[in-house]
Amino acid sequence: AQSVTQLDSHVSVSEGTPVLLRCNYSSSYSPSLFWYVQHPNKGLQLLLKYTSAATLVKGINGFEAEFKKSETSFHLTKPSAHMSDAAEYFCVVINTGGFKTIFGAGTRLFVKA
């Protein structure tokens, strides 16, 4: 069985400081992992993906994530937060060969001026 846990429901940072959004996964097979962002009243946008290539994945808007198999983690980071980063972030797992996508519960990122 596969599952994904986002360890924080809310994260608050100041503009210009680093962002860390944590995600742990459980999968019986080699997983494909994604981060999506959802701004208010807007659709889900793909930030980055891991599909068994490089373990450090770079995405859009300066975000990156590192796949750590030993820790079953796929945490999202950004060196310097911007006000426009305030949104809901979802960690997603899809089993290779499977046809079921599992979303985490989401982490709401707040960015203070």
Partner 1 sequence: DAGVTQSPTHLIKTRGQHVTLRCSPISGHKSVSWYQQVLGQGPQFIFQYYEKEERGRGNFPDRFSARQFPNYSSELNVNALLLGDSALYLCASSSGLTSYEQYFGPGTRLTVT
Q: What's the token pair of residue 70?
A: 């030993």
Binding mask 49-68 for partner 1 (x = CB under 8 A): x-x-----------------
Cα 61 to Cα 9: distance, rounded to the nearest angstrom: 22
Q: Are 81 and 87 in contact (CB under 8 A)?
A: no
Which phi and psi (to 5°) does residue 54 adopt? -60, 140
| Candidate residues 1, 28, 43, 53; the one interacting with partner 1 per rule CB under 8 A | 43
| 25 part of the interface to partner 1, by CB under 8 A | no
Number of residues in contact with partner 1 under rule CB under 8 A: 22
Q: Which residues bind partner 1 (CB under 8 A)?
A: 32, 34, 36, 42-46, 49, 51, 90, 94, 97-106
